């Protein structure tokens, strides 16, 4: 097995998603994932503590991009304008691999309660990171939490719409349109 080849982490994620789709999450072993990716089990454990954490493969980067966009929003930006900055920053990092594995990963998650729980925790983590970035901008806690939750929902909705769109389309317009739809919908709550 070629342990020295670059891209082992991405290959592990792709191999896992393929195996989860083909034979189910529970039937897939770490040894099978490593073999499909062309690496050893020890290489797997260098990147992931267990197979469930493959779902979070990029959560730290996504959180960082979202919070950087919020932090760098103009000084007078409203909370949702700052969240839009985070969505733009995170969306710009999404490319062909995200588009390729997105539908398969969604299908794998839908078939397993443990994966659904991990996915929900990922969303909680993203919302907490965005809320913290908003609070650092002096946005009051309840408003920061609400804006962050809308941001997570907008990212999920925009991502789902992007997967159905033209292959050459960028993700950003979809997440921003979803955020605007949610902003409009929230006005009718009062």
CATH of region 58-187, choose from 3.40.50.300, 3.30.930.10, 1.10.357.10, 1.10.1740.10: 1.10.357.10
Cα–Cα distance, 177 to 159 (Å, whole number):
11
Of 23-27, 44-48, 104-108, 122-126, which gets the smallest average pLDDT? 104-108
Q: Is the pLDDT of residue 71 over 60?
A: yes
Q: Is the pLDDT of residue 54 over 60?
A: yes
CATH of region 8-53, choose from 3.30.70.2190, 3.40.50.620, 1.10.10.60, 1.10.390.10: 1.10.10.60
Residues of the chain with CATH 1.10.10.60: 8-53
User: What is the rounded average pLDDT of the residues 50-68?
Assistant: 87
Cα–Cα distance, 184 to 179 (Å, whole number):
9
CA dist 75 → 10, 72, 91, 134, 139 (Å): 37, 8, 22, 12, 12
Would you state the structure tokens that stand for residue 33, as one six-digit string? 């994932």
pLDDT tens per residue across span 151-174: 999 999 999 999 998 888 899 999
- Cβ(16)–Cβ(54) below 8 Å: yes
Residues of the chain with CATH 1.10.357.10: 58-187
pLDDT category at 78 given cuts 50, 70, 90 is: very high
**Global confidence as pTM:** 0.86
Would you state the structure tokens that stand for residue 177, as one six-digit string? 């349109």
């Amino acid at each position: 097995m070629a342990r020295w080849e670059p891209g082992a982490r991405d290959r592990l994620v792709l191999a896992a998603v393929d195996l989860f789709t083909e034979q189910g999450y529970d039937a897939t072993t770490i040894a099978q994932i490593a073999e499909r990716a062309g690496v050893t089990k020890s290489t797997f454990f260098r990147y992931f503590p267990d197979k469930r954490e493959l779902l979070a493969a990029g959560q730290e980067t996504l959180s960082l991009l979202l919070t950087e966009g919020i932090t760098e929003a103009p000084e007078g930006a409203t909370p949702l304008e700052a969240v839009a900055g985070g969505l733009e920053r995170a969306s710009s990092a999404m490319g062909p691999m995200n588009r390729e594995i997105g539908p398969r990963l969604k299908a794998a998650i839908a078939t397993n309660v443990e994966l659904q729980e991990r996915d929900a925790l990922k969303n909680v983590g993203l919302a907490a990171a965005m809320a913290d970035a908003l609070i650092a901008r002096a946005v009051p806690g309840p408003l920061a939490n609400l804006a962050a939750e809308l941001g997570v929902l907008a990212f999920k909705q925009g991502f789902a719409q992007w997967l159905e769109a033209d292959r050459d389309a960028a993700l950003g317009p979809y997440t921003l349109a979803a955020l605007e739809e949610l902003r409009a919908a929230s006005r009718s709550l009062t």
